[in-house]
Amino acid sequence: MRCHRLLMSILLALTLTSLSAWAGAEPAPGSTRAADPTLSTLVDGVLGSQQREHKLAGITVAVVRDDALHFAKGYGLADLASARAVDPASTLFRIGSVSKTFTWTAAMLLVERGELDLDTDVNRYLRDVQVAGAFDEPVTMRHLMSHRAGFEDSMQLFTVADDDTRSLAELLETHQPRRVHPPGARTSYSNWGAALAAQVLEDIAGTSYGEFIQQELLTPLGMDNTTWQPPHQLVEAADVRLATGYKPKKGGLGLQGYLQLGAYWPAGGMASTAVDMARWMRFHLNGGEIDGTRLMRPETHAQMWRRAYDARPDAADVAHGWQDVPYRGLRTLGHGGGTAAFLTNMVLVPELGLGVFISQNSAHTFVPVAQLPLLIVDYLQASDPVPMLVDDEDADALGELAGTYMNNRRVFSTFAAVLGTVSVAQLVPTSPEGFELSNPMEGSEHYRRLQGAADVFENARGGRVAVLRNDSGDVEALADPMGIHTLERIGIWKNPNTLAALLGIATLLALTTLLGAWRRFGRGGGWGFSSSVPGGISIAAGAVQLLFIAILGVLIMGLADFDLSRMADDYPDTRMFLLHYAGWMVTGVSLAMLAGLWPTWSGSGWSLWRRLHFSLFALALVLVSAQLWQWRIIGAPVI
């Protein structure tokens, strides 16, 4: 569970996505409530209950309807020590990856002016950093805006301190991730790609990205309380307005440090108020205009909200940077954001003229930010909960879908690849029309085939999974309900359970090897057996394998204290290096075991059982070493 907590913390950073995946109920067809003042009462009740249940310090909310601020409210405290209340007009909450919506909007401004072509190689615009070649295809802004550039994930964005003097271009050059998919092939969320997009805009505009969005978006839209200043500057200001972050501690709440990003801030370092974000939502719901100020032509805005890749129109995907998620017959667009101390969600429903913004100054529960926007949609649609009936017959009918799937938003080329071992989902067919999809972090969910869509399945809360096939029609991946990740089907060798099983077998054989040596020594056998080559090698191999397992256990236990806000100072962890070196030791003794097979079988005088045991141990260690290489514990940089 501690490994799961680490991965959840990392994935949550800048990427919280809500929309249709998490809450909801089936609406009654054709019934729509008009906006009424009881909506505010509904929100009060929902958030009051959730705030108590989940021990949340403060929440800020804004709801817009029909080009008007329906209401903006603050709940609880922005700072517990001073009893400072949350003010929706002045209290700043860090909005995480919702910051990216400013990048994508700014890009469309340049498209409208003819200064940016979404299908041109971004290297033609970049001055001080270049995207490395791969797959004989360039990366374009449209790829970046669709999260389809093919980059692996990167941990290094979160290791940059706010006082780091390096420019964004320098960081991008230093931390450039590998391209693991051809451009356009797969949706895979990329913070590094979003930061690269900001650099493209900066190089085209000839001014800093911050100055560009200030001049072109924030000032014209009257968003005077939106900033990209790092937290230490905000809390040192004379009028402290940034909410304090909190985390669970000993049955109450303790202080949670702020995530640091340095020059990577365009990927998720902005802060704003609920009232400012209401103006941002109105601007987009109006197709690029607010209160008579038009910054973007309606047709340009419509282009932004049009998917560049639309192979799954009935399921979620990305529309030029915006999460585009079908929900109960409606189209929702928006983005979520998470940092070490905040969770945020923004959901727009153009058909209802509705926008919901919510942010909380704790990151230990997704429930309020994930559920509230869709509960409001359900309320306006006069929804009633309809549980899903799960059939339990003829499960083989969907047998082609059965298997293990792994999230492709992960690291492939460095030690951090091992974190991917907990991003696995298991699909088990349950009927001719449904299946169960489960993973360690989110539990199990049942999906049923969506009527009229052969390869789209929906759960009881409105989340949809799309089946992706290759040119031969074989199932190769799933598109997740959030629209920004792809789950790739994997075989036995790439299954993390294979690594776990081999480590278990090797550890058992190490223990029996050492116990056997102790038993023989205790019975008066002396040290003659251990002076032989195979005997000495087997004892060394057993000790090294147990050392590796011990270091792995210490590392996992240490992850219980993992804090995303401290990554700039604490990453990579010393225990990661120890595990890396211990992995190389395992590989070394596995080769020695192979070398010892000849004397073991040719002249050791051992019993058949002992020789078989030695051989099996040698084979297990060789396979473990191959898995350590597969998961980049060895043979890759420890980052």
Q: Check whether residue 431 and residue 526 sit in a common domain.
A: no
Give the pLDDT of residue 224.
97
Whether residue 276 lies inside any domain: the answer is: no
Q: Check whether residue 523 and residue 450 sit in a common domain.
A: no
Residue 276 phi, psi (nearest 5): -60, -45
User: Which residues neighbour 120 within 8 Å (Cβ) at sequence distance 6 or greater?
Assistant: 140, 141
Whether residue 134 lies inside any domain: the answer is: no
Whether residue 294 lies inside any domain: the answer is: no
Tokens found for residue 491: 């075989």
505 CB-contact burial (10 Å; exposed 0-12 / middle 13-18 / buried 19+): middle
Q: What predicted TM-score, i.e. pTM, was given to this entire model?
A: 0.93
Q: Check whether residue 463 and residue 517 sit in a common domain.
A: no
Q: Is the N-terminal amide bond of 183 cis, ω within 30° of 0?
A: no
Whether residue 6 lies inside any domain: the answer is: no
Task: Render 264-319 in DSSP notation, one character per residue.
Answer: GGGGT--EE-HHHHHHHHHHHHTTSEETTEE-S-HHHHHHHTS-S--S-TTS-EEE
Q: Check whether residue 528 and residue 611 sit in a common domain.
A: yes
Q: Check whether residue 545 and residue 625 sit in a common domain.
A: yes
Residue finishing a domain among 433, 457, 490? 490
Q: Check whether residue 529 and residue 609 sit in a common domain.
A: yes
Give the pLDDT of residue 24.
34
Give the pLDDT of residue 524.
53
CATH number at residue 419: 2.40.128
Give the pLDDT of residue 15.
44
Q: Check whether residue 446 and residue 558 sit in a common domain.
A: no
Whether residue 473 lies inside any domain: the answer is: yes
Q: Check whether residue 484 and residue 501 sit in a common domain.
A: no
Give the pLDDT of residue 310.
85
Give the pLDDT of residue 394.
72
Percent of the chain with pLDDT over 90: 82
Place of tokens 């869509």: 453
Q: Check whether residue 502 and residue 478 sit in a common domain.
A: no
Q: Check whether residue 501 and residue 605 sit in a common domain.
A: yes
Give the pLDDT of residue 523.
64
Per the structure, the count of domains in the chain is 2
Q: Which residues of the chain have pLDDT under 70?
A: 1-36, 238, 385, 395, 522-531
Residue finishing a domain among 446, 461, 490? 490
Give the pLDDT of residue 238.
58
Q: Check whether residue 551 and residue 428 sit in a common domain.
A: no
Neighbours of 527 (CB within 10 A): 11
251 CB-contact burial (10 Å; exposed 0-12 / middle 13-18 / buried 19+): exposed
Tokens found for residue 420: 């991917």
Q: Check whether residue 529 and residue 601 sit in a common domain.
A: yes
Range of 430's domain? Answer: 395-490
Give the pLDDT of residue 11.
43
Strands 403-407 and 424-431: antiparallel
- Contact (CB, 8 A) for 141 and 197: yes
